[in-house]
Amino acid sequence: MPGKLILLLQLLLTLIFIAAVWTSGMIPGSYIAVLAVTLLVLFGVLFGLQFLKSKVYIIGIVFSVLISIALAFGSYYMFRASRMLEQVGGATYKTDNMIVVVRADDTAENILDIKNYTFGIQTALDLENNQKMLEDVERVIGQEPDVENYPAIQEEAQALLDGEIGAAIYNEAFTGIIDESIEGYSDQVRIIYQYGIETEIEQEETDVITEDEAFNIYISGIDVSGPITTNSRSDVNIIMTVNPTTHKILLTTTPRDYYVPIPGVSGEQRDKLTHAGIYGVDVSMATLESIYGIDISYYARVNFTSLIKIVDAIGGVDVNSEYSFSAGGYSFTEGVNHLNGEQALAFSRERHSFAAGDNQRGKNQEAVLTGILQKAMSPALLVNASEIITSVSDSVETNMTRAEMATFISRQLSDGSSWDIESVAAVGTGDRQSCYSSGSQSLYVMWPDTNSISEISSKMNDVLNGQ
């Protein structure tokens, strides 16, 4: 009798496991059919052994227990992977992290300690979020705050350092812009209060992408300490043009300092491409669409910390380096280098070692991404997709749905074909100009090279059209 109860449990776990695999959408139907038949046949054999009065009966019980344990763990990991895909995918909102900062040597411990301070606020940008933050501060401190207005965020920041105001209110995404104007600013202040404002991501409605249809996906590399949804300057801007039918991928990196108008934000005034991310990933997408004259259906935002997790989760990557150089305590040789997560991050961030500076950094980032794609899309590694997804779920977000990601994994498992990956980099001419997001402050920028843009646009369309 105990043996039959154990077998009944095995049958139940078999059905649960098959359901978990089927509903995940990540495993091809043909694989599921073979798996289901194998598990049911195995159950039948072990069930038959229960009628034999010998040691074989005991062996059958032991095998049934072991199989049941394996099925339980398998079901757990499949359901977990599906939940993680749900968490990573389907992003619909962005977060503006509004902060109140005081000088680093201020003795105040919380916002109530500074309720009688004069709060500085800038009136040039981000007015709606500033107003919401003021309302929240008033709610928290229980009184209307004393406010001093400044025409630019740099003036507000300098006033804080000079002691003209006791605290400053602004969007944390603008911190990098302040640092470009006031050396060492971030080290001289500290955050005493923060408030997240969530808004819906605005994207043009596009037709549903079929599994055979080519598409563009924007990969944004950010560096934030808070939620992955937090708006931030985008230091990595790569467009991945994918054709599932021809198995071709074109990786296009655009310099973070590209000097371009930001649609819906700056009007005719130009700004750095990296600053578009301050206003949301949808604004970065619109800016890149305007540059290349294309439609971008999807995006993936990747925190720099997740690069370490991704590379380590797939067992390291082989990356081709155009130069020999050292960075972050590591040495890289010209040619193929096998990198772990920390090494890949150092390789991707370095720019001072190269005459081409940020342009070469962009190429190196593409080289790392190529290594990740080549490794991650191998059928052997896709079998461990659940572990990889789980390890990076808190530091990656995308607007691709769980079903779309699962379909891509399933197709690659079924097909198993290798991909032809090509990398290109937009170029331009360096200059110093004022930017929309930094006011009158002159910053390093790069004027786009129209010939480079035209050539890349043509390459993108060739891949999209299967040429």
Instruction: Return all residues near 189 (Cβ < 8 A) that are at least 6 apart.
Output: 101, 102, 103, 104, 157, 160, 161, 168
Q: What is the pLDDT of residues 354-372, one digit of tens each?
A: 988 888 888 898 899 888 8
Owner of token pair 């994918």: 242
Task: Yes or no: say if 276 and 305 are a contact pair by the CB < 8 Å rule.
Answer: no
User: Are the C-beta atoms of 272 and 258 separated by less than 8 Å?
Assistant: yes
Q: How many CB atoms lie within 10 A of CB 206?
A: 11
Q: What is the rounded average pLDDT of the residues 44-67?
A: 79
Contact between 182 and 168 under an 8 Å Cβ cutoff? The reply is: no
How crowded is the C-beta side of 174, counted as CA atoms within 13 Å? Answer: 29
The conformation of residue 358, written as its DSSP 8-state character, comes to: H
In the chain the first and final C-alpha atoms are separated, in Å, by 65
Report the C-alpha gap between 296 and 228 in whole angstroms. Answer: 20
Residue 131, both tokens: 């107003």
Cα–Cα dist 142/157, whole Å: 25
| pLDDT tens for each residue of 405-457 | 888 878 877 777 788 989 999 999 999 999 999 888 889 999 999 999 999 99
Among 195, 199, 223, 232, CA closest to 97: 195
Position 189 scores a pLDDT of 96
Domain layout of the chain by residue ranges: 2-88, 93-200, 215-377+419-464
Global pTM reads 0.81
- How does pLDDT run across 78-102, given as a tens digit for each residue? 888 788 777 777 777 888 999 999 9
CA gap 437, 59 in Å, rounded: 72
Q: Report the DSSP beta bridge partners of residue 299.
A: 218
CATH number of 93-200: 3.40.190.10
Query: In terms of CATH architecture, what is 215-377+419-464?
Result: 3-Layer(aba) Sandwich (3.40)
* Percentage above 90 pLDDT, the chain: 51
- Tens of pLDDT, residue by residue over 300-352, are 888 877 788 888 888 899 999 999 999 989 999 999 999 999 999 999 888 88
